[in-house]
Amino acid sequence: MYVSGIIEKMETQLAQEVLYWLPLGDERILMNEFIGEAISLKYNHQINCIICGRKTAKSFAQGLCFTCFSKSPENSECIIRPELCSGHLGQGRNAEWELEHHVKPHYVYLAASSDIKVGVTRDTQIPTRWIDQGADAALLFAKTPNRYLAGLMEVNLKNHLTDRTDWRKMLRGEKTEKNILEIKHSLRQFLSPEFQAYFIEDDTLTFIHYPLITSPEKVTSIGLEKTPLVEGVLNGIKGQYLIFDTGNVINIRAHGGYNITLEA
Q: How much is the pLDDT for 145?
A: 97
Q: How much is the pLDDT for 13?
A: 98
Kindly list the domain boundaries of the chain, sorted by start residue.
2-56+212-263, 105-207
Residues 6+ apart with CB under 8 A from 225: 43
Output the pTM of the full model: 0.94
Percentage of the residues of the chain whose pLDDT score is greater than 90: 97
Rounded distance between C-alpha atoms, residue 100 and residue 34, angstroms? 37
Q: How much is the pLDDT for 161?
A: 92
pLDDT per residue over 180-212, tens digit each?
A: 999 999 999 999 898 999 999 999 999 999 999
Percentage of the residues of the chain whose pLDDT score is greater than 70: 100
Q: How much is the pLDDT for 71?
A: 94
Q: How much is the pLDDT for 241?
A: 98
pLDDT class of 165 with cuts at 50, 70, 90: very high
Mean pLDDT of the chain: 96
pLDDT per residue over 12-64, tens digit each?
A: 999 999 999 999 999 999 999 999 999 999 999 999 999 999 999 999 999 99
